[in-house]
Structure 1
Amino acid sequence: MGKGPERTLETGETAPDFQLELAGGGSRSLEQILAKGPALVTFYKVSCPTCQLTLPYLQRLQDSQFQVVAVCQDEADRAQEFNEAFEVELPNLLDKADDGYPVSNAYGITHVPTMFLIEPDRRISWTWTGFHKRELETLAERAGRAIFRPTDKVPEAKFG
């Protein structure tokens, strides 16, 4: 993907600031996002089956103890198609190939989905790559919400 850290950023590290285009127009920086409180920033690709599994569940955490923001590594029209197909209404920031994936590189993204819970001081308080039911339940406890319903049939784990 280009130059960036040699590893994915970890819990306790400082999240790099960024400014990205919003799929619906305009742009948003990490500073603007964190001004509203903690945020779960999730990197994904439209074609990733594990992302297709994960993001609809993350949608359930929106407007909880933290915001959920998606960083799409595809173009705006593809992000919109994904949102419609998987009933996801998360804000989508665009970290595009044509731009060299600057934010993905800054965070050391090697696989998607990769999620970072970022506190207002930019400290990363939780991170995970892939889908792991128990980890997402721990995240949901922090959000003060259930992420899975009794009728959901979810695997224990699925990695990107």
Structure 2
Amino acid sequence: MPARFLVAAILLLAPVASHATSLDVVVADGANQVPGLRGDDLPRAILNSMQHVAPRDMSVEVAPKGPLPPNRVEWRFHANPYAGGAVKYIGPARSAAERLFGVHRQVTAEAKLFLDGKYQSTVFGEANLAGTADEPSFTALIEGLTTTLLHTPHG
């Protein structure tokens, strides 16, 4: 009897995502406001970051165009409100300063996990991004949310 309970407890505590052998990355239309990443660059950057922390037995790929795959992570990004620029600015032109120092905008990311077409969980995170493609804070944001999403039990 205690052995059955132990097996049941282990099965309940195992992450649900480990049952999927593959996941597809989907970026929601119109919700990709990430400074420095546009078009096909955004799904590839997400994919590269997710592959570092996904379970070893799980393949992660960018979803093909068409119907949504049953096992997927849907990503949405929103630029947070920015109140800068309301004060008098003395210095080089803003466009030149942004090219030199980066944009530095705070972005909220939302990742939703779907397994067998059924919603499982959502995680949120924020990062201050400078607007470059190899942004360390963007990588840390995606890796952190992926770790939480794929390595946490979902009920």
Calculate the TM-score normalised by the size of structure 2: 0.31
Greater helix share, structure number: 2
Calculate the TM-score normalised by the size of structure 1: 0.30
Greater strand share, structure number: 2
The structure that has the greater radius of gyration is: 2
